[in-house]
């Protein structure tokens, strides 16, 4: 039975096509079962670090895949040239519409292909030309150089998307952990607030789904751009030159776009009985004026700290806050300790502990890596809580007036509370504690146009 040429070409093309991306193989690799796929497609289709994995086509188990299938790669490159245009015009060349001559040169200014008759005209008299082959080679290199950047951006967008998925889950576990400590008192209240939290999670999941859909679409656009670049690089020179400019512009636009932050607002969840439990561990904390930086002043009773009248404003305070601090006189090396700080007169502040500091020549030295803190930053009319380390950023509806800090040295945990609403703000449960730690207080520099005021260590009373 005779087989016509078109059928042979179609069969050839089918055998050199990746079943995942449905385009000709690019860097093909072959599995143990014998099926082949693009290396990029196969890597993205299997879960990261999971071995063995299943073949996307036959579902057989494969423990690994071979290196680049060189023969299949060459066959795929040949097959890319077997397109309808090449069959209709075996030479693979088009003619100048004006002079009906084969273009030999490429105009750098107009980005067009020209024949020898075209360059004699006045229109291109002062322009610069290069051979078609040389111009095509330059654009091939530009397109090739663009692919790694797009692939890197895809990985970054995937990682960014993954980092946002579990924030609500972590918040839920943190609240559950606090309930577990007083489980016998809080079973009914826990069920009540867990139901509310589920509603919040459902609402947040809708927002997150829309957010992830936008990321997925952007990733898909970058993948499509890569496929178009791979296809264009294998096409004849003139076709490549006509399409490269638009492809490069599209790639630059995709590369320039950055993912926007996703920070859903979390409501307060009052915990009944928390005030009585924390009051058992209240500590009499005072400030050590000998550790104060040059920009702050400690009160005579050692309970308050404020900025000097001549200190710089707080327009860029988050970068400079380590220079505006004071340590506590007390150092804790065991047990549970709780203290409260009134920050109602401070729109921006930082509170926490230093796990290591040194005293040299009446000066206190520290490293940022030993600071564990919760910061409040005001951006316009909005307030954000920021952790250090980790730099988790969470928007809050209203400023917190009194902060409660609970240090459990044995468990290595540092918890921050809204002392007025009896609710948890944030928790660090894996703080490495091997040396005595000292509370740390950092009022922010005054906002432009506002007066300087103090943050104060206040008695642990009935607010919590």
Block residue for tokens 């307030």: 383
DSSP assignment string, 89-155: -TT-----TTT-----EEETTTTEEE-TTGGGSGGGTT--EEEHHHHHHHHHHHHHHHHHHHHHHHH
Q: Is the pTM of this model over 0.85?
A: no
Domain residue ranges of the chain, discontinuous segments joined by +: 5-82, 151-256, 274-458
Residue 311 is predicted with a pLDDT of 63
Band of pLDDT at residue 358, cut at 50, 70 and 90:
low
Q: What is the CATH number of domain 5-82?
A: 3.30.40.10
Are the CB atoms for 406 and 317 separated by under 8 Å? no
* pLDDT tens, position by position, 83-135: 544 444 444 456 677 667 778 888 877 788 888 777 777 677 678 788 888 88
Six-digit token pair at 134? 């040389």
Strand partners of residue 255: none
* pLDDT tens, position by position, 242-278: 888 888 888 888 888 877 666 666 667 777 878 888 9
Which overall architecture, per CATH, does domain 274-458 show? Sandwich (2.60)
């Amino acid at each position: 039975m005779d087989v016509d040429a078109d059928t042979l070409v179609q069969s050839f093309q089918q055998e050199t096509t990746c079943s995942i991306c449905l385009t000709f193989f690019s860097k093909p690799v072959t599995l143990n079962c014998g099926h082949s796929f693009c290396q990029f497609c196969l890597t993205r289709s299997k879960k990261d670090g999971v071995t063995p994995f299943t073949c996307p086509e036959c579902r057989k188990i494969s423990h690994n895949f071979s290196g680049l299938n060189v023969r299949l790669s060459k066959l795929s490159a040949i097959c890319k040239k077997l397109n309808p245009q090449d069959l209709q015009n075996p030479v693979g060349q088009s003619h100048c519409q004006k002079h009906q001559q084969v273009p030999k040169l490429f105009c750098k200014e107009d980005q067009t292909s020209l024949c020898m008759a075209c360059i004699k005209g006045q229109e291109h008299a002062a322009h610069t030309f290069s051979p078609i082959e040389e111009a095509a080679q330059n654009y091939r290199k530009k397109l090739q150089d663009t692919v790694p950047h797009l692939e890197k951006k895809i990985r970054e967008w995937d990682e960014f998307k993954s980092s946002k998925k579990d924030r609500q889950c972590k918040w839920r576990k943190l609240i559950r952990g606090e309930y577990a400590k007083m489980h016998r008192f809080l079973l009914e209240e826990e069920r009540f607030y867990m139901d509310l939290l589920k509603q919040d999670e459902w609402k947040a999941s809708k927002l997150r789904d829309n957010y992830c859909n936008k990321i997925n679409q952007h990733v898909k656009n970058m993948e499509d751009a890569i496929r178009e670049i791979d296809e264009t690089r294998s096409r004849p020179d003139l076709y490549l030159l006509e399409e490269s400019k638009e492809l490069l512009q599209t790639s630059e636009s995709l590369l320039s776009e950055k993912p926007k932050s996703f920070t859903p607002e979390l409501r307060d969840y009052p915990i009944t009985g928390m005030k009585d439990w924390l009051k058992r561990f209240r500590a009499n904390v005072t400030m050590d004026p000998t550790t104060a930086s040059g920009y702050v002043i400690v009160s005579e009773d050692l309970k308050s700290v404020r900025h000097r009248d001549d200190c710089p404003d707080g327009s860029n305070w988050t970068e400079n806050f380590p220079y505006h601090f004071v340590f506590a006189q007390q150092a804790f090396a065991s047990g549970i300790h709780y203290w409260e700080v009134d920050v109602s007169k401070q729109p921006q502040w930082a509170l926490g502990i230093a796990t290591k500091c040194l005293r040299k020549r009446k000066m206190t030295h520290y490293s940022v890596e030993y600071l564990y803190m919760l910061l409040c930053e005001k951006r316009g009319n909005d307030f954000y809580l920021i952790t250090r380390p980790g730099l988790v950023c969470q928007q809050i509806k209203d400023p917190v007036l009194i902060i409660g800090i609970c240090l459990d040295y044995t468990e290595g945990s540092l918890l921050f509370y809204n002392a007025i609403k009896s609710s948890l703000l944030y928790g660090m449960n894996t703080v490495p504690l091997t040396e005595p730690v000292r509370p740390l207080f950092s009022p922010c520099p005054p906002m432009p146009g506002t007066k300087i005021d103090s943050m104060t260590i206040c008695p642990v009373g009935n607010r919590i």
